[in-house]
Structure 1
Amino acid sequence: MGFLPIHRIITLAFCAASLLPSCASDSRLLPNKPLTFGSKLISDDGTFALGFFSPSNSGGNHYYVGIWYNSIPKDNVVWVANRAAPVTDPSSATLALTDRSNLVLSNTDGQPLWMANVSAPGNLPSSENVTGEATLDNTGNFVLRTSEGAVLWQSFDHPTDTLLPGMNLRVTHNRLELQRLISWKGPQDPSPGSFSYGADPYQFLQRFALNGSRPYWRSPVLTNYLMVGSYMESIKSTIFFTVRRIEDEIYMAFGMPGSSSTVKIKMDYSGKIKILVWNSKMLEWNDLQVAPEPECNTYGYCGAFGFCDNTEPVPICKCLDGFEPISKEDGSNGRFPKGCRRKEELRCGRENRFLTLTAMKIPDKFVYVKNRSFEECSAECTSNCSCTAYAYANMNTTAINGDDTRCLIWMGDLIDTGKGKLIGTGENLYIRVNRLSDKKRWGNILKITLPVVSSLLVLICMWLVWICNCQAKQRNKKIWKNMISGALSNSGELEDGKFPFFSFREIVLATNNFSSSNMLGHGGFGNVYKGTLERGKKIAVKRLSKGSGQGTLEFRNEAVLIAKLQHRNLVKLLGFCIHGDEKLLIYEYLPNKSLDAFLFSMFSFCLANFQ
């Protein structure tokens, strides 16, 4: 007995340890060579595998034929053949390619549990045998081809719960039926669940997640036939969504630059539509996008004329502008089960206008009016009193249905509306409302203009008061100067009425801002400070106290009297200063002490000699 090659030993060891029992490494299924339990097909690049598997909680009683990621250990199944008819005894179950090139899964009794229902190509009679082979491609697509390469059947045309990159999901049904992703019944139960995802059967512009037959979530309406997804930081790439026509049908697909196969869209058993990427470092599937999330984005959650505001830190329901909750009790939990109503009954006619709401997920239940410009779309709604709103988009291409416009109008309630942070791009929604009456319009104008005008008047008054104070100070300053100078001139002591006038700044600098260390003395009407002018001249400054009671007349009399009493034995008045409430007399500085100190000193000397 010969030795096995090392790569075969490694392959067998890996298969023995795998939870999914399959060991063949060929990617092809050939006639008269069926696939049995314990063997599997592996795509040429090793990414995908096809074979028999059993969910972990089935107790080994239910087996399925499926396709899974070969190197990803969990949540790895992307397609299942016999979802509704599991194999209970896999020992003799087979997946075989018949002589008529049909794929058939049979149980131990030879009864078919699942078949591909392949029909012969159109250029061959249905009774003629067609030879071929089935291949598991590197994309995860299991393709049955003729020997000439014509595709007879492929798993991508029969999706289960997962959409892979490059896989087309049919969103119209001109000749063929719609395709939908159908969830598993549970996390380990591949049988068909209650949730499904696919296009609106009446309109390919939007897609629904259904719970049974009831809408559970609705996608934003297409604004373009090429949709570019957001940049995903976790995978350092951008996901592209496209819509394309193939023959008579329209399909949607998604992909990434580099054609990464470890990204998928899944209709989860919980009802969530998820875009997932495999994190090879953490060995986990990361959520790139999940819908509906948060809860208020579930279909119709906020009621008629309500919307889910995703711009709030905690998204909540709100009423559209001009609307209010029907029930006063609604809104306490951020929801309006009964919806919203107009604050004012709509009056049709020239009294209407259209309010623009930006960045909106536009509502459901629209009417698609084709081949309209924006102005024609607006006129279509304006001229119809039953039209409550409209939205418009340029589609940038006529490749799909020959129309590069998308005019939508609504004839009734606005259902399932949202704002901000939605999957897809928000757009303008134009809602019909009443024009404001003249009384209300003037009331709104007054509400805006009165505060502005009042503020301006207050500022103007403050400015005028400041100007008047400045002018009054200058005028009083001039009056004081003229009054004192005139009085001294009349006394014959001054020539031409000239008398020195000092600036307050000059005195402040000279006295070191009236420092206490410069104080020479104080009297009933103020303090006297020593100072030095910039020229070096010593001065004495009498600062009239503001609370002394000495007024204008007293200050004038003192200035005139001192000016007249010029004598070599009397201190000489050099000038004065007036600054606001400050009144200052500037004297010549004499270094000797005051007269009372001199007299007290003489009295003490005489008293001592007398004794």
Structure 2
Amino acid sequence: MDNKIKHRYISDNYKYLIAFLWYFNRLFCSATDTMKYGDWIRDGDNSREPNTLVSTKEMFEFGFFTPEGSPGGKRYAGIWYCKVSPRKVVWVANRDNPLVTSKSRGRVFGIRKDGNLQVFDDVVGNGTSFWSSNLKSSSSSPNRTVTLLDTGNLVLTEYDGTWLWESFKEPTDTFLPGMKMDENLTLIPWKDQYDPYSGDFRFKFDEGNKQFVILNKTIAYWKSGEPGKFLSSNKMPDVITDFLLDSSKLEPSYKNYSTKYKVLPTVSTYSYKMLVIKSNGKVEYGSWDDKLWMAGWSEPSDRCSEFNVCGDFGICSSDEKKFPCRCLPGLKPSLVDKWESRDYSDGCTRGTQLCSGEKDTFRRLKMVKVGNPDSTTRLPVNNETECMKECQDRCKCQAYSFQAASDKNNGTRGEYTPPTSWCWTWFESLNDLQEENNTNDGGHNFYVRVALSDLNGNTSIASIEKPSRRRISSTLIVLLTVISIIGLLCICVVISFVIWRRKKAKRLDNRRSSDRRNRALHMLDTERC
């Protein structure tokens, strides 16, 4: 083999080796985790530059993608789990401003001259921007780098290690270990499973009330509840609360974007756990296990979990055999037409308003969860009669509940602290009422104030506690009566028909017998002649 042929042989093999290594590199998510100023991620496999960033331990990958099942040729820059199939996207940069493949051909991500991270089209115009980190323009951009961490956090860093911007501060629909859910952080779902565009729901932390909330635009859709509050259960397990509020301990503590990045925890600290808000407003907590999404908790979990789903003065039942909503005793739907069409948002109203001079009474509801009373309305009392009087003496008091003392030695050793009974009263509209089917939460009976004139003369507790059941029983009685009458008529008809047939058969038998006797007599007379 001459040198020329040998050189060509080696050259061809070298090209094949380079191609093999490149595809092997792509297959196993092997790529750089950091880009400096002047480096670019270009959309398309024909580029000589890297198509993605991959975190050091190959946990996460950043690049351009089209959502699986998406009907249009829209391209987004985002972050997804590196070794999970099908692809699970956890962050999208240009979610509300996609690049359309038919209109843009130079889709690029990188650090631009103003020092910002940008997703732009370097073919159209002067590099039209489709997303930016929106930092102030800086002349130090040549010294900046962007890194994808093993937490899934994309970080823009200054030359001295200062964090200038991070994706964890601007999430989309997913909360990952290392984030911290404070009042500045909001999760917004995809429009649907194929479109990352911002949906209508919002998941955030209500710092004032120390609870998590889901908003449907601006209206409260779900609340986690304040832990430890009377008659209001905390719908979020402690493990998830800790995950949302304390998982930032996985990252270095920092107070603002200018804090210097120091030490990363080991990759073993991280798992595939996450919390996601779905397009239907439901929040799910779970993890990826053997390429499957395992949801361990979600809310709202049923129809009564939605906040105030039956409106003010309406009570919700999660029992599928019952109507979902009913009014409190003596109250009626505010808008009957909407109520009958199963739109309960306007709730119920009193026929006779309180403080109008009409006589009233209290009716008991068993095992009810209700929105928290004002903190100033909890009073120590000796017994339930005192509690009722506290509410009865104030005409604007809507309801009360008595919490009997627990006779336990709650002092130090050798000391005894007398137990205290508490009286809870409500002066505002009663909302988020739920009928509780079990007593595991230590629920209490709830007494609602109602005018005697609104009870229509029916003051029995049984008829008031379950009005829908009374209506159902009346309907059932009428139905059974009608069926019984029809059944009796059918039986009478059948019996009458049987009697008629028997009588007819008997008459025929008698006629045949008479005919036989007549023939016999006739033959006898003939023989005598």
TM-score > 0.5 by shorter chain: yes
- The residue number in structure 2 matching 1:302 is 310
- The residue number in structure 2 matching 1:277 is 287
* Correspondences of 1:90-101 after superposition (within 5 Å): 91-98=105-112, 101=115
The alignment partner of 1:63 has SS state of strand
Contact between 2:332 and 2:351, CA under 8 Å: does it hold in 1? no
Cα drift, residue 291 of structure 1: 2.7
Contact between 2:367 and 2:436, CA under 8 Å: does it hold in 1? no
Cα drift, residue 332 of structure 1: 8.5
Contact between 1:182 and 1:267, CA under 8 Å: does it hold in 2? yes
d(CA) in 1 for partners of 2:142 and 2:274? 34
- The residue number in structure 2 matching 1:205 is 210
Q: Which moved more, 1:427-436 or 1:152-161?
A: 427-436
- The residue number in structure 1 matching 2:143 is 131
Cα drift, residue 287 of structure 1: 2.9
Q: Within the alignment, does 1:433 sit opposite 2:449 as a pair?
A: yes
Contact between 2:327 and 2:333, CA under 8 Å: does it hold in 1? no
Highest Rg: 1 or 2? 1
- The residue number in structure 2 matching 1:584 is none
What do the CA deviations read for 1:406-446 (whole angstroms, capped 9, x no partner)?
x9986532233335599x9897697663799xxxxxx999x
What do the CA deviations read for 1:365-395 (whole angstroms, capped 9, x no partner)?
x76x5xx69548999x9697545468999xx
Contact between 2:36 and 2:146, CA under 8 Å: does it hold in 1? yes
Structure 2 residue ranges without an equivalent (≥5): 1-10, 46-50, 249-253, 257-267, 382-386, 404-422, 453-458, 462-529
Contact between 1:142 and 1:156, CA under 8 Å: does it hold in 2? yes
* Correspondences of 1:177-256 after superposition (within 5 Å): 178-199=184-205, 203-215=208-220, 217-223=221-227, 230=237, 240-241=242-243, 243=245
Structure 1 residue ranges without an equivalent (≥5): 121-125, 172-177, 232-236, 249-257, 394-406, 437-442, 446-611
Contact between 1:95 and 1:105, CA under 8 Å: does it hold in 2? yes
Q: Within the alignment, does 1:362 sit opposite 2:371 as a pair?
A: yes
The alignment partner of 2:199 has SS state of strand
Cα drift, residue 76 of structure 1: 0.4
Cα 1:333–1:193, aligned 2, differ >3 Å: closer, same or farther?
A: closer
Cα 1:149–1:8, aligned 2, differ >3 Å: closer, same or farther?
A: farther
Q: Within the alignment, does 1:15 sit opposite 2:26 as a pair?
A: yes
d(CA) in 1 for partners of 2:245 and 2:397? 29
TM-align CA RMSD: 5.0
Cα drift, residue 262 of structure 1: 2.0
State the one-letter code of the partner of 2:168.
Answer: F
Please point out which of 94, 97, 113 is paired with 2:130.
113
Please point out which of 73, 79, 86 is paired with 1:61.
73
Cα 1:271–1:375, aligned 2, differ >3 Å: closer, same or farther?
A: same
d(CA) in 1 for partners of 2:155 and 2:441? 36
Contact between 1:195 and 1:210, CA under 8 Å: does it hold in 2? yes
Contact between 1:296 and 1:316, CA under 8 Å: does it hold in 2? no
The alignment partner of 1:44 has SS state of coil
State the one-letter code of the partner of 1:219.
Answer: K
- The residue number in structure 2 matching 1:417 is 433
Contact between 2:225 and 2:235, CA under 8 Å: does it hold in 1? no
* Correspondences of 1:153-552 after superposition (within 5 Å): 153-171=165-183, 178-199=184-205, 203-215=208-220, 217-223=221-227, 230=237, 240-241=242-243, 243=245, 261-280=271-290, 283-310=291-318, 312=319, 317=324, 319=326, 322=329, 324-326=331-333, 339-341=347-349, 346=354, 360=369, 362=371, 374-375=378-379, 386=396, 388=398, 411-420=427-436, 433=449
**Length-normalised TM-score, structure 2:** 0.57
Identity %: 24
The alignment partner of 2:96 has SS state of coil
In proportion to residue count, which structure has more strand?
Answer: 1
d(CA) in 2 for partners of 1:189 and 1:165? 24
State the one-letter code of the partner of 1:114.
Answer: W
* Correspondences of 1:552-567 after superposition (within 5 Å): none
Cα drift, residue 139 of structure 1: 1.3
d(CA) in 2 for partners of 1:426 and 1:9? 66
The alignment partner of 1:190 has SS state of strand
Cα 1:77–1:356, aligned 2, differ >3 Å: closer, same or farther?
A: same
Cα drift, residue 214 of structure 1: 3.8
d(CA) in 2 for partners of 1:322 and 1:387? 15
d(CA) in 2 for partners of 1:408 and 1:132? 59
**Length-normalised TM-score, structure 1:** 0.51
State the one-letter code of the partner of 1:269.
Answer: S
State the one-letter code of the partner of 1:223.
Answer: P
Cα 1:220–1:408, aligned 2, differ >3 Å: closer, same or farther?
A: farther
Q: Within the alignment, does 1:148 sit opposite 2:188 as a pair?
A: no
State the one-letter code of the partner of 2:196.
Answer: P
Contact between 2:111 and 2:141, CA under 8 Å: does it hold in 1? no
